[in-house]
Chains A and B, each alone.
Chain A
Amino acid sequence: MRLTRRDFVKYTVVGATSLAGVSFLGCTQKEGGEVAKPTPVETKAEAKPVYKDTFVLGEGKDHRLKGGKWGIGFFPKIHVLERLVEYDIKNDKLVPSLAEKWDVEQDGKVIAFQLKKGIKFSDGTELNAEAVKFTMDRLIAKEHSLRPEKAEVLDEYTVAIHFKDAEFFNLAKMAEFHLSIMAPTSVNPVGDPAAELVKPIGTGPLKVVDYKENQYAIYEPNKYWYERRGIEPKFKKFVVKIIPDEDTRVMALRSGEVDAISDFSHGGSDYTPRNQLDILAGDGYKVYKRNIPLTWVIAFNYEKEPFNDSEIRKAVSLAVNRDEIVKIFDGHVRPAWNGMFAPEAPGMAKAGITYEYNPDKAKEILSDLGKEGVEVSFIVDKGQGDQILVAQLIQQQLNSVGFNVNLDILEGGAYKQKRDTGDYDMRLYYIGGTDRRFYLRLYWRFHPETKWKAYLSPRTGELCKAVLKEFDKTKREQHLIELYKVLYEEMGVVPLYHDVMTVVTSPKVEARQEQLFEMAEPFFYGVGAKL
């Protein structure tokens, strides 16, 4: 049969018209994020910019505001809740936050915190010792790995927290995400540590308004927090849209559907691709960056050949060109030439360590030891896309000096299984995290008691314990410096690069670096999207 030309045209036009009609149907967005009337910001002096009522952020991970088994996500822990103390990494000290001061008793086995008075949770209830005890009791009920032994109310604003061991680490832990203080009214029945979470209520700058799992979270400013700070928010609503794909997040920013995109609060994953940052900056978007004390390293299976020999580990370090590695990230991260941790980490600058790039020396070491052509397995977690590129580059660099590296890119569970069973020779790993996790990660990576150590030797184990025990800052720094030096001498791990945290905003967004990165995690209390 032949369709007539008329029939063909008829059917094509009908089809195309239908498709076009569908494209333009549809109602306006009904979920949160719609721009309403502008909110002029009241000021005392001259007229200030007019901001949109709603600020929209794109993030990669769900906020878990229902809590569930595992508690809420990291973003609400930073923005909805606060902690008794915060960690100032530059000065290596814990500074007051919700606690005004504290008394260390029994060498750190008991720490009595005196709370600031007059602080309210976002629902108007008062922060007091009972609320802190409630938070600690919740951790105890869940047998959380960071839980204290018990919390004791001494008076309305004083709470004594008891720990298993007497060490500085107990105080350092109080700045950790998971020890953020939540109101007893967050659960039902109120105040029951074992009860299910209704909605996290805290003293932070935001309060939860609405939430749809894996789609969005809607917050509003917590007026009590802004009153404490003596400032006004530049938004009436703060909407976070969950966009798992990193390229889609960038597109959402470019299309104007979100005002900003941010790396995952925890660091290390779900971030804005580093090779897009310069392009975005060139197109007028604002890129805010903050160095964090997180270092990617090569960790070894140091309990078996060939990496039970520190000389072979040194050969790896000498063969790795860290400047080439940071090019993968367009130079947005820093090469780890001068130590295990970023330069701003306590004691790092004084340690005076320099890692060398000398492939000829690496070849010499292998030759002297008769290890030319030595086969090694190198495992990488497939979930970390950039780490695969890093691993491939390292493989090339090591092969050029005489290693024979078999690169195994594994699914997360398979990577962890090989790691746990010791079925590998080298692996990509990370040390540190955001500032508040500096000591916690030191513990997880170098303490003799932990399972997923990066490296352990008698000297490093003792030094790590000494660091975590020591309340005296000067002595603690000395232990840290010695730990860095021993890790360098023994080449326990090979540091590669220090990571960063980024936020990218549209050109219309007003934000200040010192507010956005008041802490290591992106902190959005002061942002505003101009009309």
Chain B
Amino acid sequence: MLKYILRRILQIIPTLIGVSFLSFSLLYVFPGDPAELIVMINSGVEPSPEMVEKFRVEAGLDKPLIVQYINWLSKVIKGDFGTSWSTGEPVIEEIAGRFPASAQLFFSTFLISVAFAFLLGIIAALYRDKAIDHICRFWSLIGISIPSFWLGLMLIWVFSVHLHLLPAFGYGTLKHAILPVITWSVSFMAIKARFIRASLLDALNQDYILTARAKGLSEKTIVFRHALRNALIPVVTYLSLSMSHLIVGSVMVEVVFAWPGLGSLLVESVFKRDFPVVQALVLLSAVIFTITNLIVDILYAVIDPRIRYGD
């Protein structure tokens, strides 16, 4: 198992190098001269050729792409992601400044939506084709279909404008987090509930469940000790994919609620052609995703004793 883990960790490195090179070079395929765009957007004037050239040299854009990439990578290895082209601040500080807000939003949403997804999914599976199953599935459909920005605005309308119970926007207290978390949780939970339902139904239809019932085990034991555990493997895989949403999944919610997270930072940086920030966020997403995958693979061995990795 240890050798497997070490091998997987080593495999992450070429993956990350590939991702970083792709994200670095694809940005240069974007239309528009980044130097001119950045200077114009940020300076608020139509820039002089000297301003553009000065920026181009300072940002290293006058060098060939491969030289730029190697220079950037050599700094990244030392933990230096460069400086933001729009603010002039170190990229790592920009990201660190926004990370707590994103983490709060994501993990709150993740926990709440997973809890409710399991609740809805299990109920729907256990009461298959009954009224409550239809209600749960309808609720999931609504959650998938409703655009999150619309839902967010409607929640603001009800709870902030009319009931004056919760703030309409902003970040800082627990009250500020409620509406954004609910907004994001609705769609987050909807898809998962359907997945859990399907996975649990599949497990409940297996022969060993029939055997368990024949042996006289209680339904509670059958569902929670046997069926759910077997149903968890695809569910855990699916949940791990959600980790990539940490960075980009919350953009709509962040914009509607003026939540200063990484999603809105990424979108702003793309439009401003602030390449250092975009490259850092893409790399960060890739790191989170690959490490999560590794953790999930290890979790498989915990959930299912049949899965063992060769030593």
A interface residues, Cβ below 8 angstroms from B: 1-3, 8, 11, 15, 22-23, 25-31, 64, 66, 68-71, 74, 142-146, 177-178, 213-215, 241-245, 247-248, 251-252, 254-257, 266, 383, 411-414, 416-418, 420, 444, 450-452
Cβ contact within 8 Å between A1 and B126: yes
Residues of B within 8 A of A252 (CB): 160, 168-169
* Pairs across A and B, CB under 8 Å, 18 listed: A11-B119, A26-B174, A30-B172, A68-B86, A70-B43, A70-B86, A145-B43, A145-B45, A177-B44, A214-B260, A245-B258, A255-B167, A255-B168, A412-B32, A413-B32, A416-B37, A417-B32, A418-B31
Contact between A416 and B32, CB atoms less than 8 A apart? yes
Residues 250-291 (chain B) with a chain A CB within 8 angstroms: 255-258, 260, 264, 271, 273
Q: Decide: A145 and B161 in contact? CB cutoff 8 A.
A: no
Contacts A251-B160, A257-B167 known; A145 to B47 CB distance under 8 Å?
A: yes
Closest A residue to B222 by CB, please name it.
Answer: A1
- B172 close to A29 (CB less than 8 A): yes
Tell me the smallest distance from the CB of A260 to a CB of chain B, in Å. Answer: 15
Q: Are B178 and A23 touching (Cβ within 8 A)?
A: yes
Q: Is the interface of A mostly helix, strand, loop or mixed?
A: loop
Residues of A with C-beta under 8 A to B174: 22, 25-27
Question: Considering only CB atoms, which chain B residue lies closest to A412 in the complex?
Answer: B271
Shortest C-beta distance, A410 to chain B (Å), equals 8
Quick check: is B309 within 8 A (CB to CB) of the other chain? no
Contact present for B256 and A248 (CB under 8 Å): yes
Instruction: Given A11-B119, A69-B88, A251-B156, answer yes or no on A244-B264 (Cβ-Cβ < 8 Å).
Output: yes
A3 to B219 CA separation, bound complex (whole angstroms)? 9
Distance in Å: Cβ of A412 to nearest Cβ of chain B: 6
Give every chain B residue within 8 A of A414 (Cβ-Cβ): 31-32
Q: Please tell me if the beta carbons of A248 and B119 are within 8 angstroms of each other in the complex.
A: no
In the assembled complex, the CB of A133 is this many whole angstroms from the nearest CB of chain B, namely: 21
Bound Cα distance from A354 to B115, whole angstroms: 67
B 158-194 to A, binary, CB cutoff 8 A, 1 in contact else 0:
0011001111111111110010000000000000000
Contact, CB under 8 Å: B161 / A251: yes
Question: What is the chain A residue whose CB lies nearest that of B83?
Answer: A69
Cβ–Cβ contact A245 & B255, under 8 A: yes
Mark B113-128 against chain A: 1 for CB-CB distance below 8 A, else 0: 0011001000100100
A68-B89, A245-B256, A444-B46 are known contacts. Are A255 and B54 too (CB-CB below 8 A)? no
A248 to B171 Cα, complex, angstroms:
14
Q: How far is the CA of A252 from the CA of B161 in the complex (A)?
A: 8
Given known pairs A143-B54, A251-B168, the reply for A26 and B44 (CB within 8 Å) is no
Known A-B contacts: A213-B87, A214-B264, A215-B260. Give 20 more (CB < 8 A): A3-B126, A15-B119, A23-B166, A25-B175, A31-B170, A69-B42, A70-B86, A71-B44, A142-B51, A145-B43, A215-B258, A244-B264, A248-B153, A248-B156, A248-B168, A255-B160, A256-B164, A412-B37, A420-B33, A452-B46
Residues of A within 8 A of B168 (CB): 248, 251-252, 255, 257
